[in-house]
Structure 1
Amino acid sequence: MNRVVITGIGALTAIGNSVPEYLEGLRSGRSGAGPITHFDAENFKTRFACEVKDWDPTTRIDKREARRQDRYTLMALFSADEALQMAGLLGEDGNTISAVDPDRAGCIWASGIGGLRSLEEQIEIYEGGDGTPRYNPFMIPRMIANMGAGHISMRYNLRGPSYATVSACASGGHALAAAADDIRLGRADVMVTGGSEAVISKVAIGGFNSMKALSTRNDDPATASRPYDADRDGFVLGEGAGAIVLESLEHAKARGATIIAEIGGYAASSDAYHISAPHPEGAGAKMAMINALKDAGLQAEDVDYINTHGTSTPIGDTAELKAIKLAFGEAVYGANISSTKSMTGHLLGAAAAIEAVACILAIQHNFVPPTINHFSKDPDIDEKLQLTFNEAVERRVDVAISNTFGFGGHNSATIFKRYSE
């Protein structure tokens, strides 16, 4: 099978609108949470989120085209463009890839919910009228969850495998694994993968509030996402995108590409337990990590950094740590563990994408991003675990694993490693 390497990454998050900005945000332990500006949230139980700030999509996307698209597809295109530029794959026109057969290049992109904001806006327009349907002709293409992959493929003439993965908060992990498989098995030479989410809206905030899933720490949004803290009270909704360019090692070397990391292995599993709650003993999550290590041909003690799902929910955080201890055994105490959601918020279907980028940056720059907002110890959490609280840790990172778990019991674990001949 082909080795799968990474030659480009892109990031658009609440703590940075590019890879360099995101890196600085991760290193400094900056919170991206603040009052919601996308709509009037005064009457909602949660009135804050991790919004992308000071972002102009038209710096990379044509203004006319941008008016026709949902925010989540604009975020997809924006981050993919950064990743393809880093990979050195864009032609002179900036809109097509070069040095690759377009029939052997594709895009598998994730979004848990897709264009929810576009759907919400159109329903409000209809309900505010006289009952006559006056829907925007772009409403359906704006809202469906496959259009991230569709627009990236169309813009860059990627005629190979192209589709979306939708598995709630594990969507990005499944997209990356599927894209890597296409290269491993020889079906493609280059794949653009990742995920985007832009659902800071009335429907999303109201819906997650009704499930009691969100933090309601309205008096202090910046510290509301506090994974592993005794006083955690729910996750903070985030938005943004992460993009990764994957290539076969042979293809990347043939064109003289700079290789920034390698895909080690990956695995998926199911809790088969509950529509939203994780298995309390981490049964499915454990197997995703164990099988990812097997796929990578690595031992637990080889892992330097574990980027956890770590959403800041009372049940979820402890269940994941149980799963990690079961999967890693005593080797877990040698690895640094952190949840970058403490800074970016939870990007649902795009979470795995921006957290994959965080793992790649950790390997490139030899540091572990912190879990910020830790104030009080949870007596149910093993104190010997290196949960990397509040400040980044400088250490050599050769192998990192990223966990993402979704409603419905979907689990994904992906291993990234330092590239070497």
Structure 2
Amino acid sequence: MTDLSAILPVIIVVAIAVLVVAGAVIGLVRGRRKKIDYTGPRDANDQVIAPTRPGAVDTETAPPAGVGTLPEPAEPAAAPERDVVDESVVEAVPTETPAPVAGRLVRLRERLAKSNSILGKGLLALLASDRIDENVWDEVEETLLLADIGTEPSLALVDSLRDRVKVMGTRSPEEVRAMLREELVALVDPSLDRSLSVDRKAGKPAVVLVVGVNGVGKTTTVGKLARVLVAEEKDVILGAADTFRAAASEQLATWGARVGVPTVKSDVDGADPASVAFEAVKAGIEQEVDVVMVDTAGRLQNKVGLMDELGKVKRVIEKQAEVDEVLLVLDATTGQNGLNQAKVFSEVVDITGIVLTKLDGTAKGGIVVAIQRQLGVPVKLVGLGEGPDDLAPFDPEAFVDAILA
């Protein structure tokens, strides 16, 4: 019979060795998962470099590849390779404190008043005439049309004003202004819900998808909106799904870094935008943030392939969380062409709100009315300058007061 006391030390040594190996395996698995969970390499502005994984996977039927996430493996898998970011060529951006949201449109009203003075002052001058005949009404209608309010709303406004003038008879300048203000406010429609859906629900972040054609300022709008949300004490993650425009990801990451907001991006040119969007939403869920905002590449509304790709981005995001807001960014200076863009985008991704940029640079503020009438979608935000805090919630009454200032 074998003496147990002789082999007992061997058994103890083997047991210790097994525990050490097991601990090492657990540590390795945790380390690998930790890398997938966004604690890997970041650039000098602390922005996330999304993991790059080889191979193509259909993001319509499976989790995205390229920069997307992989299913949790049954067995420990090799950690993904990541490109090294040379921090010496990335300038660190100091963190800023965004201006309070309250009162932004009031503070910026002077700019809007200057750009729309032709519309407001022209209408007031016409309606204050000693004699208002059909020629005057024709001029009022022409003024409204030149402001891009649209044919149907312009005719409706003229008819309403004509009836009120007949009833009122003698008019003072104050009465004329009050009458015109009431009609314009009704035309802009203060009853529309202009609030942003940016609150967590069902344990998931609100997801905001930002779309539009080339050159309207989508990336800048995302950065400015991030400042608005940070000022409202929201936790935000940005997704740089514009993977085709040169330096778009870096531009967005810089906006985020200014207010301490992380950006999920790819360091691979031409990466699948749906994959980046998927990864950004995944990060938002895991980190329990309030809002995930996804920037997309600009695309012409008549390019079928690009519009289909935009629909794909939205569908891939919805595999993880509901898209709460789809904001269409429009350049207010484009006038009626912006209305054509809005129609096509609304058919592809179900627009929930409009952001009008460069509203301070045009006398065609009537596009607000035209878009809302045609689409039934409210203007929720307006850009009134190039400053970082020159994005404000749209207020119909403040807008009309600025026109008539």
Structure-2-length-normalised TM-score = 0.27
Larger radius of gyration: 2
Q: Structure 1 or 2: larger helix share?
A: 2
Q: Structure 1 or 2: larger strand share?
A: 1
Structure-1-length-normalised TM-score = 0.27
